Amino acid sequence: MRANSRTYLGISGRVVGFTKNCLVYDDGGGDQKILPLRHIVMEVEGLRVDGRTLLRLLQEL
């Protein structure tokens, strides 16, 4: 996931919930972390998805 044009974050864990503007995930150590959607840009094989689109997709599952 890319936080901005200069910073790349490797985030591993399991999504456990959502708030209006954040994604909540478990980092595997028992701690829940909050990641603001505006910081999320995911790119998979050339397809870019921003945080708000990702949230809509996950809510459909």
Position 3 scores a pLDDT of 45
Tens of pLDDT, residue by residue over 1-56, are: 444 444 445 666 777 888 888 888 887 888 888 888 777 777 777 777 777 787 77
In the block, residue with structure tokens 């490797």: 10
pTM: predicted TM-score of the whole model, two decimal places: 0.53
Domain boundaries, the chain: 14-60
Handedness of CA 33, 23, 6, 47 (dihedral sign): positive
Tokens representing residue 22 in the block: 């954040």
